Amino acid sequence: MLAGWAANGNIIMMEQMPIFGGYCGGVEETAICDTATHIASFAFLGANYHLDGPIHIRWGNTTSRETMQIAAHTAAAMDQNTDLLIANQYYPVAGPCTEMCLLETATQAISDTASGRELLSGSAAAKGVAMDKTTGMEARMMGEASKAAAGMAIEEVNPIIEALVSGYEKDYAKAPSGKRFQECYDVLSVKPKEEYLAVYESVVQKLRDLGLDIRN
């Protein structure tokens, strides 16, 4: 397939999701493997951009402290040494129409943006395994948090990330599974319902209180 795409001039995205707590080991060892596979994707597998997604072996999310640390350090390593185009993807534990889901998504968006990623892809809420538990509202959160974090000093960003992740990481085992798309939106008009807009507004206010300049 790669040979065909290359000959056809297609834009080739190469995806790889290192598992934290798996064969690689701890955060530093996993980041070494993550960096090596980023480089390999471009150097001899023909990628035009790379989609990362360090994932936690216990919780199945990309929004954990450890997996964000792996992604952010790998991104900074690639960013400081190349001009290659790098992306990350989103697997929060909680599902749509919950504050936890939007807070997880915003936290990773801030981390990915501050560490120099060029593209954010998501979000597969509820770990990306539950039927119809993904909606455009999570992407709105991802994008708006990213836009607000872009340009901030890293020293300002880290305390915000710390406050957010320490707020939700204790709840992984009892994370709300959220609502299905059909419950979050009017399916005919494809408009989000008042309930989800209120949840979104509440999370935006929490992010503003922490110093993130999210505008409506």
Which element (helix H / strand E) includes 143? Answer: helix 136-149
* Among the residue ranges 77-85, 98-106, 168-176, 205-213, the one whose residues contact another protein (CB under 8 A): 77-85
Which element (helix H / strand E) includes 185? Answer: strand 185-186
Query: According to CB under 8 A, which one of 83, 174, 215, 216 is a site residue for another protein?
Result: 83
Residue 106 has which token pair?
Answer: 């915003």
* Among the residue ranges 97-105, 142-150, 169-177, 198-206, the one whose residues contact another protein (CB under 8 A): 142-150
Q: Which residues is 176 bridged to in the sheet?
A: none
28 binds another protein (CB under 8 A): yes
31 binds another protein (CB under 8 A): yes
Q: Measured from the CB of residue 66, what is the shortest distance to another protein in angstroms?
A: 9
Distance, CA of 139 to CA of 181 (rounded, Å): 13
User: Which string of DSSP letters, residue by residue, matches 9-34?
Assistant: T---EEE--PEETSSS-SHHHHHHHH
19 binds another protein (CB under 8 A): no
194 binds another protein (CB under 8 A): no
Pick the closer one to another protein by CB: 26 or 211: 26
Query: According to CB under 8 A, which one of 16, 21, 60, 85 is a site residue for another protein?
Result: 85
Q: Interaction with another protein in 153-182: which residues (CB under 8 A)? A: 153-155, 157-158, 161-162, 165, 181-182
Q: What is the dihedral of CA 143, 115, 52, 122, to 10 degrees?
A: -10
Q: How many residues does the chain have?
A: 216
Q: Are 45 and 77 in contact (CB under 8 A)?
A: no
Per-residue binding letters, 32-71, with another protein (x by CB under 8 A): xxxxxxxxx-xxxxxxxx---------------x--xx--
Per-residue binding letters, 90-129, with another protein (x by CB under 8 A): xx-------------------xxxxxxxxxxxxxxxx-xx
Q: What is the CA radius of gyration of the chain?
A: 17
Distance, CA of 14 to CA of 156 (rounded, Å): 32
